[in-house]
């Protein structure tokens, strides 16, 4: 075991419960702490976790593309190439917005989650 291991990645947002529910549905993971208005996590296999923490005032979602309000981080999710259209339909149905299709030139598509964080569906 390494001396230091990554624990959780946390995203700021105005509504942790809603964003946790979005990612739990996207990934098929479980929501933990849904009763907490300030911090909610989604838990996946082998202890993988994403957390969502409330920002009450002045929340400004990242702007993609551009650096006026930089993204600071983004999440990449692997999807089998044969399943990319189904995966895209799912994330859009759950509230994501497509901001860059692959157009046959790239092996990823870029979306914004309901709170404005960019994420990619990457074909493998």
Burial of 42 (0-12, 13-18, 19+ CB in 10 A): buried
96 and 113 part of one domain: yes
DSSP state for residue 80 in the 8-state scheme: -
87 and 99 part of one domain: yes
Q: How far apart are the C-alpha atoms of 112 and 100, rounded to whole Å?
A: 10
For 96-102, which contacts have Cβ atoms below 8 Å and span 24 or more sequence positions?
96/22, 96/26, 99/64
**Angle formed by the axes of helices 16-27 and 84-93, nearest 10°:** 160
- Could you report the per-residue pLDDT of 29-68, keeping only the tens digit for each? 999 988 988 999 999 998 899 999 999 888 888 887 777 7
93 and 45 part of one domain: no
Give me the domain span that covers residue 71.
Answer: 60-124
Measured at the alpha carbon of residue 108, what is the angle toward residues 53 and 42, in degrees to the nearest 5? 25
16 and 74 part of one domain: no
66 and 92 part of one domain: yes
- Could you report the per-residue pLDDT of 36-47, keeping only the tens digit for each? 889 999 999 988
54 and 65 part of one domain: no
What pLDDT sits at residue 4? 60
Do the strands 49-54 and 39-43 form a parallel or antiparallel pair, or are they unpaired?
Answer: antiparallel
CATH of the domain at 102: 3.10.180.10
Structural domains in the chain (count): 2
Band of the pLDDT at 71, cuts 50, 70, 90?
low
């Amino acid at each position: 075991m390494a001396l230091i291991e990554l624990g959780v990645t946390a995203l700021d947002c105005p509504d942790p419960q809603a964003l946790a529910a979005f990612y739990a549905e996207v990934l098929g993971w479980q929501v933990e702490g849904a009763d907490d208005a300030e911090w909610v996590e989604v838990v996946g296999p082998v202890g993988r976790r994403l957390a969502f923490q409330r920002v009450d005032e002045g929340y400004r979602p990242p702007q993609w593309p551009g650096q006026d309000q930089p993204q600071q981080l983004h999440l990449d999710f692997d999807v089998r190439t044969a399943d990319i259209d189904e995966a895209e339909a799912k994330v859009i149905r759950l509230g994501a917005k497509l901001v860059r299709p692959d157009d046959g030139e790239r092996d990823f598509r870029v979306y914004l989650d309901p709170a404005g964080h960019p994420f990619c569906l990457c074909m493998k």
